[in-house]
Amino acid sequence: MFKNILRGIKAYTGTFKLINTLGLWKYFGVPIVISIVSALLIGLLAWALSDTIGGLISSIWFWEWGAETFRKISDFLGALTVIALGLIAYKHMILALSAPFMSPVSEKIEAHLLGKTPQHRDTTNAAQLWRGIRINVRNLLLELMFTIPLLILSFIPGVNIVTGILIFLIQAYYAGFGNMDYTLERHFKYDESTKFVRNNSGIAIGNGIVFMAMLFIPVLGIILVLPLSVTASTTETLRLLKESGTLKISE
C-alpha cells in the first residue's frame, strides 16, 4: 500500500513536460473555468455558513464557565467542518462536470505512451458526463458516510488530529478514484472500474494526496489541479492496466 501511494505521488513528475509535448493545455480551458467557478461558489457558501455552524456547536454548552473557550473551539470545529464538506463538494463537482473534457485528454496521453491505437469502448460526451456524475455521486455519498462520523469524533480533544489525517486520506482516495476513471471508462464498465480502483487504492490515494494538497495553494492550485492530476493518473492507470494484462492494443 505505502509503495503504491508513493508511486501515485511520483507519477506527477514530468506531467508539465508531457502536457507541453502533446499540446494539451488547450483542452483544459473549460475545466479550469469550471474549477474556478466551483471554488468561488463553494468558498462563498462556506464563508456564509462557518459562523452559523460554529454557533450551533457552541449552543450545546449550557454552562457559563468555560463558555468563551468552548465558543473558540466551536468556531474552529465549525471551520473544519465547512472546509471538509466544502472540499468534498468541490472535488466531486469538478470531477463530474469535467469528464467530457478530461476523457479525451486521457485518451491522447494513452495513444502517445502506447504508440498504437488502444482497443477500448467507444463513448460519447453525454455518456462520459453521465458516467462522471454517476461515479462522483456514488463516491460523494460514500465519502460523507465515512467523513461525518470522523467529524463528530473531532469534538474529542487529541482525537481530532487523527481524524483530520483520516479525513484527508479519505478525500485523497476519492479524488484519485475520479481521476483514474477518466482512463478506466474507456476500458471497463462501471462495476469493473470500481473494483479496479479498490484493488489499487494506494495509487488512488497517492494521486489524490497531491490533488488535495494543491487545493491549499491560492489561485494557482485550482488552476493546475486538474491538468496535473489527470495526466499523472493516466500514466499510472495505464501502467496498472498493462501489468494486469487488461490493456488491449490493436495492431
In the block, residue with C-alpha cell 460523507? 144
For residue 29 the three cell numbers come to 480551458
Please name the amino acid found at residue 154: S
Q: Let me know if 213 is exposed, middle or buried by CB neighbors in 10 A (0-12, 13-18, 19+).
A: middle
Q: What is the SS3 assignment for 118?
A: strand
For residue 247 the three cell numbers come to 490493456
The pLDDT, as a whole number, for residue 68 is: 66
In the block, residue with C-alpha cell 468541490? 90
The pLDDT, as a whole number, for residue 121 is: 57
Q: Whole domain around residue 146: which residue ranges?
A: 2-243
- CB contact at 8 A, 63 and 134: no
Does residue 95 lie in a domain region?
yes
Does residue 108 lie in a domain region?
yes
- pLDDT digits 0-9 by tens, 86-122: 778 888 888 888 888 888 888 889 888 887 655 555 6
Does residue 248 lie in a domain region?
no
Does residue 129 lie in a domain region?
yes
The pLDDT, as a whole number, for residue 199 is: 94
For residue 17 the three cell numbers come to 513536460
Q: Is the pLDDT of residue 64 over 70?
A: no
Does residue 88 lie in a domain region?
yes
What's the mean pLDDT in 166-186?
92
Sequence length of the chain is: 251
Does residue 93 lie in a domain region?
yes
- What percent of the chain clears pLDDT 70, i.e. is strictly above it? 81
pTM of the predicted structure, to 2 decimals: 0.83
Does residue 231 lie in a domain region?
yes
Confidence of residue 228 (pLDDT cuts 50, 70, 90): very high
Does residue 249 lie in a domain region?
no
Please name the amino acid found at residue 216: F
For residue 94 the three cell numbers come to 469538478
Q: Would the CA dihedral through 47, 48, 53, 58 be positive or negative? A: positive
Neighbours of 112 (CB within 10 A): 13
The pLDDT, as a whole number, for residue 75 is: 67
- pLDDT digits 0-9 by tens, 131-159: 888 888 899 899 989 988 988 887 777 78
- CB contact at 8 A, 125 and 100: yes
d(CA 142, CA 147): 9
Confidence of residue 9 (pLDDT cuts 50, 70, 90): very high
Query: How many domains, the chain?
Result: 1
